Structure 1
Amino acid sequence: MTPRDGSDAHDNRWSDLDRPPLGVAGLRRSLLRGEGLWSSLDVVPRTGSTNTDLVARAAAGTAQEGAVLVAEEQSAGRGRLDRQWTAPPRSGLFFSVLVKPGEHEVPVERWGWLPLLTGVAVASALSSTAGVDTALKWPNDVLLTVGGEERKAGGILAEAAGGGVVVGVGLNVSLRAEELPVPGAGSLALAGAKVLDREPLLRAVLRSFERWYGEWCAAEGDPGLSRVQEAYAAGCATLGRSVRAVLPGDRELVGEAVAVDGDGRLVIVTDSGTREAVGAGDIVHLRPGPQ
């Protein structure tokens, strides 16, 4: 659709009627409750990175726990290892939230569970709301089944900020095959999701996060008592697979991923029987998981 005034369709909020803008007023009415986690919700038409912006707000003291920042488009979205995350305007969910687990007596050494907790929240919300087969790739990728194969459709990035943590989520919703950033990527549309309206999807993800985060904080960050560890393991497509872990320092480790330990690390058993817990690294699935 080309605007009649000749302006760039990129800047016209009605340039793609299949991708309407988010209704911030309705989102605020449904999510900002006095007793709930969410304290503010802002939607911006375009930004470099919602994580960068919310980290800056947290550092300046202008955002409190429960702040949500959503962008209709990100020009410099980042994943792990500073990988770029780009998508057409209003084709996905790109948002960040600020949490302060220290205010809930969660020890700092347990904050590393936040990206995994977020993965559980996102996957469970998408499964129930969009009716898609959702899985998690350790540590922070959201996988959907497209044409019988698992494809990455979302990612999670957590960054320390202002005494708390900013957790960013990027999720491909309506991307068509020709719009994918890489051939192996996926989207809710390509996975046959029954819901592509971003507003109910965002509400479901934020409500799911609020529930899991609340239970985790109530357990003082204990992944066992809060059942976050159990839920993550149940939905983790990496477990039971042969994997190659590219570790810091360009060291590689090949073996079977057998567990996620109490610190959120991936436990790999090599062919020689050595067990090693990996806390950071790039994981490649070498064979399909159990059917």
Structure 2
Amino acid sequence: MQDLQETAVQSALTTHWLGRAYHYVPTIGSTNETLKQMAADGDETAAPAGTVLLADYQSQGRGRLQRRWEATPGTALLFSVLLRPQWPATQANWLLMIASLAVVRAIAAVCPALTVGIKWPNDIMVQQMGEWRKVGGLLLESEMDGNGRISTAILGMGLNVNLTAAQLPQAATPPTSLLLAGGQPVSRQALFTVLLAELEALYETAVSGQSPLSAWRAQLITIGQQVEVTEVGNGRSLYGMATGTDEWGHLQVTNAAGQVYTITAGDVTLRPSI
């Protein structure tokens, strides 16, 4: 586990600012919750933009919709990133887009034999034995200032790197790991440092005003698939074809009658047999 301690990571980083304030702990409740507290308690000098907190084990890790995220110590990448974008609230989805793109590109670079994509909105998927399986996920938590801008954003990421079949958790979406999908162990340090470099580059491009929508949409495996969507809030289930997204990344689903629904938040299951 020493490959992810401070000295090892700092010497391997190629970023300019992202991850230069880096904290490693063997075990923690939640990296998101702890980093959120660090951002609230300290000024920007104590917790600057680009601060990264990584743990080898989370006892209270969670993903979207408050679902637990579990991984055996030393087998996954479990970390959170602090950003201070000062973007309008409408651009919050850009953060999830660039984060998921960074993960996809890092996996493609470190594990070139794997086919990787994104299941809307932010599940990281790889192909294994002819089917898509979930290898990771993202969680965004943000705070707004008095002008409706994103003052702080915490991006939490969890990636199953070297979990064995016996270590995989039970989940609605069949999970896997990079080890199982690719057939060989993956260097967590190599994947982590490449991921941070990709994230920094994508973030800086977004800061310049260029939307990540097109690049993100190109990686969506959901488009063109028959899906079942359970909407957050009302619990309504919709069935149809995922036909695209709007300009903010909300999923568009067309049902059998030709009606188009725009999903801002929901749980998507691929239904290829429908």
TM-score, length basis structure 1: 0.85
1:208 to 198, 216, 220: 198
Amino acid at match of 1:173: V
Secondary structure at the residue paired with 2:27? Answer: coil
What is the match of residue 25 of structure 2?
A: 44
- Displacement of 1:108 in angstroms is 2.3
Give deviations 1:200-243, integer Å, cap 9, x for gaps. 10001110101111101111xx52xxxx1111111111110011
The answer (yes or no) to whether the contact 1:119–1:156 under 8 Å persists in 2 is: yes
CA contact (8 A) 1:138 1:236 kept: yes
Aligned to 1:9: none
Moved more, 20-29 or 199-208: 20-29
Aligned counterparts of 1:40 and 1:283: Cα–Cα separation in 2? 36
Aligned to 1:10: none
Choose the corresponding residue for 2:177, options 158, 182, 187: 187
Corresponding letter in the other structure for 1:245: V
Distance 1:174 1:201 in 2: 12
Residues 1:193 and 1:51: Cα distance change in structure 2 (over 3 Å): farther
- CA 1:74–1:92 in 2, change beyond 3 Å: closer, same or farther? same
Letter in 2 for 1:146: Q
2:162 maps to which residue? 174
Partner of 1:240: 224
Aligned residue among 100, 106, 130 for 1:119: 100
Corresponding residue for 1:97? 81
1:76 pairs with 2:60: yes
Asked which structure has the greater CA Rg, the reply is 1
Unaligned stretches of 5+ residues in structure 2? 145-150
- The secondary structure found in structure 2 opposite 1:29 is helix
Please report the TM-score for the alignment, with normalisation by the length of structure 2. 0.90
* 1:34-88 deviation digits (Å, cap 9, x = unpaired): x433440111000011011111111112412100000011111100011001111
Amino acid at match of 1:249: N
Find the counterpart in structure 1 of residue 142 from structure 2: 160
Deviation at 1:29, TM superposition (A): 2.9
Secondary structure of 1:196 counterpart: coil
40 and 193 in structure 1: CA distance in 2 versus 1, 3 angstrom threshold: farther
Cα 1:168–1:193 shift into 2, 3 Å: farther
Root-mean-square deviation (CA, aligned residues, Å) is: 1.9
Relative contact order (C-alpha < 8 Å, sep 6+): which is higher?
Answer: 2
Counterpart CA distance in 1 for 2:2 and 2:183 is: 17
- In structure 1, the residue matched to 2:132 is 150
Unaligned runs of 5+ in 1: 1-18
1:197 is aligned to 187
2:269 maps to 284
- The alpha-carbon deviation at position 195 of structure 1 amounts to 5.8
Structure 1: 4+ residue segments shifted above 4 A = none
Aligned length: 261
- How much identity, in percent, do the aligned residues show? 34
1:79, 1:157 within 8 Å by CA — same for their partners in 2?
yes
What amino acid sits opposite 2:206 in the alignment?
W
DSSP 3-state at the match of 1:255: strand
Report the alpha carbon displacement of residue 129 of structure 1 after superposing the two structures with TM: 1.4
